[in-house]
Chains A and B, each alone.
Chain A
Amino acid sequence: MAEALATIIRVEGLGMVTIRADLDHAGDAIAEASGLAIPDQTRIVTDGSRSLGWMSPDELLLVLPAAERADALTALTDALAGEHALVVDVSDARAVFDVTGPHAADVIGKLMPVDLDMLPHDGLRRSRAAQTAAALWRIPGGFRLIGFRSTADYLRLILENAAIPGSQLAPR
């Protein structure tokens, strides 16, 4: 039997922190506390094991190893003290999947109304995967997709269905 179009792995052990603030005003403080540059609109900045994604004009998502989450929460909360800002732990609210392999884009292309040709190497796209909200960015060899924890089984199911062997999108 031919192979699945992509390898689908649920990623555990990630910490995630949502930061809501006026990015023009508080950007420097966030950058310093998170150790990452503030991403441009719809981009994600990655350095080693940490990423900082642009989610909306007043929202960033810090993704980092779970072990560093508590320190990061404290650092960000301290850095934004006195600002009108919200720093909250959302690590437990998410399900994360890595979709990798030569046909990873086909799998995503069956589920998300996103023009992947136009997604930059550091692009972050919030959209939907079939019927549930999801955000997407590129990782080496494929894509990382984050959705809600409660729909983790659904996400895995639709990703695996979209990856069934022999179903690549290339014309035949």
Chain B
Amino acid sequence: MSRTPPFRLVRGGRLIDRAFQLAFRFDGRHLRGVQGDTLASALLANGQMLMGRSFKYHRPRGPLASGAEEPNALFGLGQGGRFEPNQRASTTALVAGMVLRSQNCWPSLDADVGAINTWLSPLLPAGFYYKTFIHPRPFWKHLFEPIIRRSAGLGRAPTGPDPDRYEQAYGFAEVVVVGGGIAGLTAAREAADKGGRVIVLEQDPHWGGRTPTDHDGGQAAIDAALADLRGRANVTLRRNTMAVGLYDHGYLLARETLADHDPNQGIPRQRLWRIRAGHVITATGALERPLSFACNDVPGVMLASAMRDFIADYGVAPGKRIVVVTNNDDAYRTALTAQAAGLDVVAVIDARPQATGDGPQAARAAGIPVMTGTAVAKVKGGTHVEGVALCDQSGTGRVTGALDCDVVAMSGGWSPVVHLYSHCGGRITWDEAQAMFRPDPSRPPLGADGKPMVTVLGAANGDLRCAGDLERAEAPTMPVWVMPRNAPYKLRAKMWLDFQNDVKVSDVELAAREGYASVEHAKRYTTLGMATDQGKTSNINGLAVLSAALDQPLEATGTTTFRPPYTPLTLGTIAAEARGEAFQPLRKTPIHDWHARHGASWEPVGHWRRPYSYPRAGEDRYAAVHREILAVRNGVGTLDASTLGKIIVKGPDAGRFLDMMYTNMMSTLPVGKCRYGLMCNENGFLMDDGVVARLSADTWLCHTTTGGADRIHAHMEDWLQCEWWDWQVHAANLTEQYAQIAIAGPKARELLQRLPGTIDLSQDALPFMQWAEGELAGIPARVYRISFSGELSYEIAVPAGRGLELWEKLHDTGRDLGITPYGTEAMHVMRAEKGFIMIGDETDGTVIPQDLGLHWAISKKKPDYIGKRAQARSFMKDGGRWQLVGLESLDGRVLPDGAHAVEPGVNANGQRRTQGRVTSSYHSPTLNRPIAMGLVRHGPARMGQVLEFPMPGGGVMKARIVDPVFYDKEGTRLNG
């Protein structure tokens, strides 16, 4: 039978407004739809039944469904960064000017060369990939994988960044109702009566679910319920909002679409709601199942409910001569709806021996032939339906007759949408009488209080009658998993279960024969339910076929796991505000803008941005580092050290507490003095270091590394609150209260003494490792005489709000001294020249202070400190540990950071044995040669020995073990 226009009915279509015509493009063709159309209804209204190609065989595909479960009609939408693949035609609203691209076809939807796969289908059974490409091994990598990768994947990824805006929002309600059909709205009213906040979420742009389409008086009932709910202050009704996942303790994610239809509006395109619900009511309805008869995938074969939606909701005739195939009463609604719209209903083919419900009676009364005990033996046609051959449902498919038609409406019964209920642990049970899995009321998901946190209502609970007065009498559904019941292989190999992934009845049976008895294994072996619809239409039918093949009840087979999201989420909604500049909270010091103005090349340190160096015109960042180091060594430089952690520890037990936190003794530190301290975890491993200053009898200030500030403060709080909670200590993280500036170099004192102030900065008054307080340049300041560069050095802490002022005054005052700002890399190189360790370079979470030759910073008098017991473990005292040494490259090249020193022999895995590694490696501008530090087995005892470091790509570098202090070992400069 050929298909002839017009396809838009003259009347009907409750969701469309024919007055507003919308032009759009489909694969280059100019078409028109109307306001309210979905892409599917608009294409059908243009006579376009072919909407896609299946994944594996590239078979022609028409729309199967009219909702979120659509597996076939998927398009690439939008252009450039807004391109999105796999958009469902059934749920995407038509917008004027839209550009649709068909997928998985080449060169075009109508003439797809990949369709040749369908002729190869006997060669492409379930598990095909696993069986075919295993041998010979090299073929996989060089031949099969590249080919499969090119042809795999449905749709293509967008190539540009998504230009749209997304956001998230937090919602709170005592009750959240998911589903705005009659069941949901009725439940919302009851919940609202109790006084708590109620949020109702509806995935579609319109309320009512199936109620208005399927029930006389349905729209009126919905309108009445909405009018009631809109009058209540404690009810929020939210349309266009898809509940995608339900998690522990009532955490519900829902996506609200705001500007999908108009991306240029400037508002967020979508919003992800993070809702905390006291209780969740899911009234999510049910999805209709296809029937498995031969060639049920020909375009024009669709779900009966979808066909009546297209007719009743959108005023579109998918065809003119309709055959309805069913195993239940509900599909009769489609027959009656089609007939009322003036279409020719050729017959209802009912697999049941008899059909006596209200629906069948009404159909007969309307003159529609009803053929019971009958099945479709085969659909005729290639790219569209031309007719059906009939047979007895109880037989093997011997053809008993034929009907001409251009579309087939099928209904294999309904499956409750139990996804949200199942996401968070709700169990389902097989209801034999209704042939469906439905929620098991005895095993619901539990909330924080141990009580059921989800109530399932309406069709989602297996109650397929409509709520309230809209009920009608329906005869039971008869399970029909294969049509006809005893279909031979020839027919079963043409019965599609998963329309997108081309999984057929015969494939699932093959999987069962090959031993894939577990439903999760069978799914992955056959790819059943792995398509973009995640098995919404295919799952139950496939499970039934698997159960039959295994000769076990469906209950025993069970279902695959329902996992969120219910429908795909755009990654933009998950990222939300965390994009671009707001990707992470970028932390800036009070002097940040000065660094930026002076050309800082940035280094991320945690969330901070610190100047790596300050390249001048004609310099790269490395040349700048070289210049900065020489400026500090020969004159004076400034480093923004504001990011260093600064934790105040105060109280009668503060000294005792710090003795536990640090490996060295802090309680004996005199007021006014500083001490370098090491902090280990209970495993004994070095976790942080820094200078501790004693501010007063009961107050210490602990400096931490930049990355360690929050972590070390939390570490202290943990021990204070949970272990020594009876000790009187307060710890406060004051990192951000202060700007801190390091002034280093032989001219540091000269510079600082030029600034007016009340602090005596002379060597006698303020020697190395002491601090003093007072006013400097009119700013209250604390000056620490500490050095990480090995030079004469002061670190000055001032209130953060005055940090920039001090920095600028220093630079104004020191211009003639050649004052130079230096960055983190100059700091790193200078400390390495001095043999100072760096947390994260010389440590990696497995290094103890003893490995680093820091015995002098480990108290032997203290009975206990965090990590002491661990450091006494046998392998911590083992002389075979890798220990810190200096490394001197023999050929003048800089050793690669992280390079491993090898030794003869291989380990158990056949790899070269290693005896050490490079932890820090630089070119030293001060010494004008490479320097490096590393951890080497028995290192300190092997001075002068030469190690070999194999290089990537071949070759070896050699380095001699030397003392790790390369510069000013006597410390005369820093004491200057």
Q: Is the CB of A88 within 8 A of B167?
A: no
- Given that A84-B651, A115-B172, A165-B266 are known contacts, is A149 also in contact with B590, CB under 8 Å in the complex? yes
Contacts of A74 in B (CB 8 A): none
Interface size on B, residues (CB 8 A): 48
Contacts of A151 in B (CB 8 A): 585-588, 607
Within A42-99, the residues touching B (CB, 8 Å) are: 58, 84-86, 88-94
Q: Is the CB of B732 within 8 A of A162?
A: no
Within A79-138, the residues touching B (CB, 8 Å) are: 84-86, 88-94, 106, 109-115, 117-118, 130-132
Q: Is the CB of B737 within 8 A of A92?
A: yes
Q: Is the CB of B236 within 8 A of A149?
A: no
Q: Is the CB of B800 within 8 A of A130?
A: no
- Given that A86-B730, A92-B799, A161-B167 are known contacts, is A111 also in contact with B276, CB under 8 Å in the complex? no
Contact of A111 among B258, B577, B736 (CB under 8 A): B577
1/0 per residue B647-674: CB within 8 Å of A? 0101110000000000000000000000
| B165 at interface, CB cutoff 8 A | yes
Residue of A with least CB distance to B200: A171
| B237 at interface, CB cutoff 8 A | yes
Q: Is the CB of A150 within 8 A of B736?
A: yes
1/0 per residue A135-172: CB within 8 Å of B? 00000000000001111111001100110111101011
* Shortest CB distance B64–A (Å): 31
A129–B169 Cα gap in the complex (Å)? 11
Contacts of A157 in B (CB 8 A): 581-582
- Given that A92-B736, A92-B800, A117-B197 are known contacts, is A130 also in contact with B582, CB under 8 Å in the complex? yes
- Given that A132-B585, A151-B585 are known contacts, is A171 also in contact with B168, CB under 8 Å in the complex? no
Residue of B with least CB distance to A118: B172
Contact of B582 among A20, A112, A152, A158 (CB under 8 A): A158
Contacts of A109 in B (CB 8 A): 169-171
Residue of A with least CB distance to B710: A133
Within B164-187, the residues touching A (CB, 8 Å) are: 165, 167-172
1/0 per residue B705-743: CB within 8 Å of A? 000000000000000000000001010101111100000
Q: Is the CB of A161 within 8 A of B582?
A: yes
Contacts of A164 in B (CB 8 A): 165, 266-268
Within A1-35, the residues touching B (CB, 8 Å) are: 1, 18, 20
Q: Is the CB of B167 within 8 A of A93?
A: no
Q: Is the CB of B736 within 8 A of A153?
A: no
Q: Is the CB of B577 within 8 A of A171?
A: no
* Shortest CB distance B586–A (Å): 6
| B239 at interface, CB cutoff 8 A | yes
Contacts of A131 in B (CB 8 A): 578, 584-585
A28–B199 Cα gap in the complex (Å)? 45
Q: Is the CB of B236 within 8 A of A171?
A: yes
Contacts of B802 in A (CB 8 A): 92
Contacts of B168 in A (CB 8 A): 110
Contact of B730 among A20, A150, A153 (CB under 8 A): A20
| B238 at interface, CB cutoff 8 A | yes
* Shortest CB distance A4–B (Å): 12
| B960 at interface, CB cutoff 8 A | no
Residue of B with least CB distance to A22: B728
Contacts of A85 in B (CB 8 A): 730
| B102 at interface, CB cutoff 8 A | no
* Shortest CB distance A125–B (Å): 12
- Given that A92-B737, A166-B267, A167-B167 are known contacts, is A154 also in contact with B582, CB under 8 Å in the complex? yes
- Given that A110-B168, A151-B587, A153-B588 are known contacts, is A166 also in contact with B736, CB under 8 Å in the complex? no
* Shortest CB distance B414–A (Å): 30
Q: Which of B165, B267, B648 has the largest count of A CB atoms less than 10 A from its CB?
A: B267
| B589 at interface, CB cutoff 8 A | yes
Q: Is the CB of B170 within 8 A of A112?
A: yes
Q: Is the CB of B238 within 8 A of A171?
A: yes
Contact of B585 among A89, A117, A154, A165 (CB under 8 A): A154
Contacts of B732 in A (CB 8 A): 18, 20, 86, 88
Q: Which of B168, B268, B735, B737 has the largest count of A CB atoms less than 10 A from its CB?
A: B737
Q: Which of A93, A111, A115 has the largest count of B CB atoms less than 10 A from its CB?
A: A93
| B879 at interface, CB cutoff 8 A | no
Q: Is the CB of A150 within 8 A of B587?
A: yes
Contacts of A162 in B (CB 8 A): 167, 577
Contacts of A130 in B (CB 8 A): 577-578, 582, 585
- Given that A153-B588, A154-B582 are known contacts, is A88 also in contact with B648, CB under 8 Å in the complex? yes
Q: Is the CB of B652 within 8 A of A149?
A: no
Contacts of B577 in A (CB 8 A): 110-111, 130, 158, 161-162
A166–B584 Cα gap in the complex (Å)? 25
| B972 at interface, CB cutoff 8 A | no
Residue of A with least CB distance to B197: A117
A167–B265 Cα gap in the complex (Å)? 10
Q: Is the CB of B169 within 8 A of A110?
A: yes
A151–B267 Cα gap in the complex (Å)? 25
- Given that A150-B588, A164-B266, A171-B236 are known contacts, is A114 also in contact with B170, CB under 8 Å in the complex? yes
| B608 at interface, CB cutoff 8 A | yes
Contacts of B268 in A (CB 8 A): 164, 167
Contacts of B608 in A (CB 8 A): 150
Q: Is the CB of B648 within 8 A of A171?
A: no
Q: Is the CB of A86 within 8 A of B239?
A: no
| B12 at interface, CB cutoff 8 A | no
1/0 per residue B737-751: CB within 8 Å of A? 110000000000000
A59–B817 Cα gap in the complex (Å)? 47
| B599 at interface, CB cutoff 8 A | no
- Given that A84-B651, A86-B648, A131-B578 are known contacts, is A148 also in contact with B736, CB under 8 Å in the complex? yes
Contacts of B553 in A (CB 8 A): none
Can you list 12 pairs linking A and B with CB atoms under 8 Å apart?
A1-B266, A84-B651, A86-B651, A92-B802, A113-B274, A113-B276, A148-B736, A151-B587, A151-B607, A153-B588, A165-B267, A171-B237
9 additional A-B pairs beyond A93-B734, A94-B736, A106-B169, beta carbons within 8 Å, are A93-B737, A110-B577, A130-B582, A130-B585, A151-B607, A153-B586, A161-B577, A171-B239, A172-B258
Which 4 pairs of residues, A with B, have the shortest CB-CB distance? A150-B587, A93-B736, A92-B800, A93-B737
